[in-house]
Amino acid sequence: MRPGLLLVNLGSPASPKTADVKAYLREFLSDPSVIEMPRALWQPILKGIILPTRSWRSATFYADSWTKQGSPLIVNSRAIHKKVQACLPNWNVRLAMTYGEPDIGQNLRALHQSGCDPLIVLPLFPQYTQSTHQGIIRQADATGLDYQLIDHFYDQPDYAKLLAAKLWAAYQQHDYDTVVFSYHSIPTAMVRHGDPYQQQCEATTKLVLNQLPDLPQRKVVTAYQSKFGPLPWLKPYLKNELMSLVELGKRKVLLVTPSFVTDCLETLEEDAVQNYQTFKASGGERLDITPLMNADPQFCRMLANLATQRLEVAQRDAQSV
């Protein structure tokens, strides 16, 4: 019997057209794991204000980063899927998205119907947070199938080594004043309610720096990006931090984005275009982004190893029953 592995990423609109972006945002921003405001209060705001004003603007951003093959997030996720499958020839590996297509439930049921056992779900998010993982869990639970969830991998030694290697290779290219570890932000209320994300982000930075004794830690700062809505999110916000660095005379900055494994709107548009423009307009000289994992063969092998390790645990547990 073949094991089944479902890789899951966030998702993307079907196209950069406003109607498709609106449909994607409606699904994404209707997820109670992402927006904790009571539905009766939030839905009128979403439908009456957010979607009409944000959809067309977001569509222009998606259009700027879209490729001939489609959404960069989808394209890179497919490449990861292909390489992980090659690393696991005796497995059935599928790819799904939390929002949009391919669907989590459909693919999990397809793995089950093909006779796969056990079923392992691996979100492509190094750190756990409610806002990324609970939507996956809810959809997987709705199938009624038993499955194993790998809910983080930030603390895997191979991940820290790979991230450190990419950071060090980029850092050596220029004389940078500052290295900014930029993580996707989440509402501070989630952290107050016990979400471990901030702690895991801080641990990620520490694990990476432990691999880089020659990188001066005085040059390293942490920031959070991609804030949405009026409520407070984890700070400092990246855009503000970049402007502050320029005021302090730090005009050559290297970004590393450990909460993103594939290039996406946040890295290609928010960082490489919007934050870059803000930094330059403030007087910055150089803002570079450390290459992401994408379909790096070593990263894909690490994901395959994670699945194999979880399979071994599942088999031991089954034997002990």
State the CB neighbour count (10 A cutoff) for residue 58.
20
| In contact, 126 and 152? CB cutoff 8 Å | yes
| In contact, 98 and 8? CB cutoff 8 Å | yes
184 is annotated as contributing to ligand binding: yes
Distance CA 121, CA 94 (A): 10
The helix (run of H) or strand (run of E) holding residue 191 is helix 188-192
81 is annotated as contributing to ligand binding: no
State the CB neighbour count (10 A cutoff) for residue 27.
15
- Contacts for 209 with CB less than 8 Å, ≥ 6 apart: 164, 215, 217, 220
Verify cis geometry, omega within 30 degrees of 0, for the bond prior to 187.
Answer: no
Phi/psi at 187 (nearest 5 deg)?
-60, 140
- The tokens describing 251, both together, are 């005009």
Q: Residues at the annotated binding site?
A: 184, 266
Q: Annotated binding residues for Fe(2+), as ranges?
A: 184, 266
